[in-house]
């Protein structure tokens, strides 16, 4: 038979540890709730942007609208989290969700009836030569590849997007 002193020697530290852990978790939750309350009740200094898209994006949008608006829906500045899900069995699911919430896609072409994402288009300007931007683009492309959503990247062009439009047509067939 197990000696009661030995059992207490083992159980008391475990119970103390669990109690301390519960107290710490409750304090964390209360701190988070207080922080959220401060954020919600705060008077942030904000102003409306005068545009949703940059002039280059606006010009490209007008070009693809001419060709694709009858058959497809075209959205701009779409959150990556709006078109992909992190699978339930992903261990760090919530951390990854927080990461992808920070990324926006220049354009998403969707099926008119189902709104299924058919193609993501990234319009690359001079910022895309930065190593941090290249890493971001590579990461987004890998997520889209895993999700089986085609990705098309084109460079800002001041003359014509005809070649890009033809490339987009091939991906939408």
Percent with pLDDT over 90 in the chain: 43
Interatomic CA distance for residues 38 and 95, integer angstroms: 23
DSSP-assigned letters across all residues of 124-154 = E-GGGGSHHHHHHHHHHHHHHHHHT--EEEE
The pLDDT score that the predictor gives to residue 1 is: 59
Tell whether 19 and 89 lie within a shared domain. no
The pLDDT score that the predictor gives to residue 25 is: 79
Band of residue 132 on the pLDDT scale cut at 50, 70, 90: confident
Residues spanned by the domain of 41: 1-46
| Confidence check: pLDDT of 93 > 90 | no
Band of residue 2 on the pLDDT scale cut at 50, 70, 90: low
Tell whether 62 and 143 lie within a shared domain. yes
Tell whether 97 and 167 lie within a shared domain. yes
| Confidence check: pLDDT of 99 > 80 | yes
Per-residue CA distances from 101 to 52, 83, 85, 92, 140 (Å):
18, 11, 11, 14, 12
Owner of token pair 């990556």: 80
pLDDT digit string, tens, across residues 59-72: 999 999 999 999 99
The total of structural domains in the chain comes to 2
Give the domain CATH number at 161.
3.40.1350
Tell whether 130 and 61 lie within a shared domain. yes
DSSP code of 95? H
């Amino acid at each position: 038979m197990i000696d009661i002193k030995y059992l207490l020697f083992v159980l008391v530290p475990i119970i103390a540890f669990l109690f301390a852990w519960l107290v710490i978790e409750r304090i964390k939750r209360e701190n988070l709730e207080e922080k959220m309350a401060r954020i919600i009740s705060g008077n942030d200094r904000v102003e409306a942007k005068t545009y949703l898209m940059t002039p280059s994006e606006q010009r490209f949008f007008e070009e693809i609208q001419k060709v694709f608006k009858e058959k497809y829906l075209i959205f701009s500045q779409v959150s990556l989290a709006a078109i992909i899900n992190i699978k339930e069995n992903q261990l760090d699911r919530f951390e990854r969700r927080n990461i992808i919430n920070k990324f926006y896609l220049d354009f998403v072409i969707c099926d008119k009836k189902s709104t299924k994402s058919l193609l993501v288009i990234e319009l690359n300007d001079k910022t895309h030569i930065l190593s941090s931007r290249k890493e971001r683009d590579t990461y987004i492309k890998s997520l889209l590849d895993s999700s089986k959503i085609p990705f098309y990247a084109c460079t800002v062009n001041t003359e014509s997007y005809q070649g890009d439009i033809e490339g987009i047509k091939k991906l939408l067939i």
